[in-house]
Amino acid sequence: MRILFLGDVVGKPGREAVQRHLPSLRARWNLDCVVINGENSAGTIGITEAICNEFIDAGADAVTLGNHSWDQREALVFIEREHRLIRPANFSKGTPGRGSALVEARDGRRVLVINLIGRVYMGLADDPFVEIERQIAACPLGAGCDAMLIDMHAEATSEKQAMAHFVDGRASIVVGTHTHVPTADHHILAGGTAYLTDAGMCGDYDSILGCEKTAPMHRFLHSTPSGRFEVPDGEATLCGFAVETDDKTGLAKACWAVRIGPMLETSLPKGWE
């Protein structure tokens, strides 16, 4: 199975990059499943129903979130009716929405998409390791699903790596989000799980984490409020993680970083064109 994950979409430039590239990539790369992290897609914070629908219309099978899940208040409502929008599974019990979704791939196979949020430097959340055990027990790879993707939305590299090793051999993919900077450590762990510490962002890299540079720089240079962060209007680079899984085991066979656009060196999956 060919699975593409796209990192945090930041504002209008990121949304435009998804709309520009994803429909053709689905066809050219013969993709079976696409997952997008959309928690920064409305400006720099949160997601709206209209934007979520844009992603799905462009070819996404599921949209994950993170610490900005509720920054657009409407998300608290429409997440209840949109099963393809997934917030962190280890949010407190009673939080609206769901933390995982079993989505249907192009050929009818089942992909379990799970969203988790870290606890190091990220605020209050339940234990993600306890939660992932519950999720895997309820829908194990090879029995309940044909592939399993975990979006680990976290600040600390160590916490992301720990999660990947914790589920190695029991999940197809663990991909980190949140820092908006793509890492170069994509590889397959000993047990067969594909791992990348951070997929990076789909956004304008002539920026500070996808934001226009003036306001963030003001915060570093002065001890006064800087006003609202704005999104620059430059062309975005599409960043993500491409993984090919084994049809028999559901584990990873190959993985590649994906980077398409200005500022960063282009990276594409080999043999998919």
Q: Which of 6, 3, 2 is nearest to 258 (CA)?
A: 6
Catalytic residue among 21, 68, 153, 186: 68
Q: Which of 22, 172, 32, 56 is nearest to 107 (CA)?
A: 32
Reply yes or no on whether 186 is catalytic: no
CB-based contact 78:52 (threshold 8 Å): yes
Distances in whole angstroms, Cα of residue 60 to Cα of each of 49, 122, 133: 14, 27, 26
Which residue's entry shows tokens 């629908």? 53
Q: Which amino acid makes up residue 168?
A: D
How many C-beta atoms lie closer than 10 Å to residue 199's C-beta?
A: 28
Q: In whole angstroms, what is the distance from residue 174 CA to residue 251 CA?
A: 11
Single out the residue of 229, 230, 243, 235 nearest to residue 264, CA to CA. Answer: 235
Q: What is the DSSP string of 145-176?
A: BSEEEEEEE-S-HHHHHHHHHHHBTTBSEEEE
Active site residues: 68
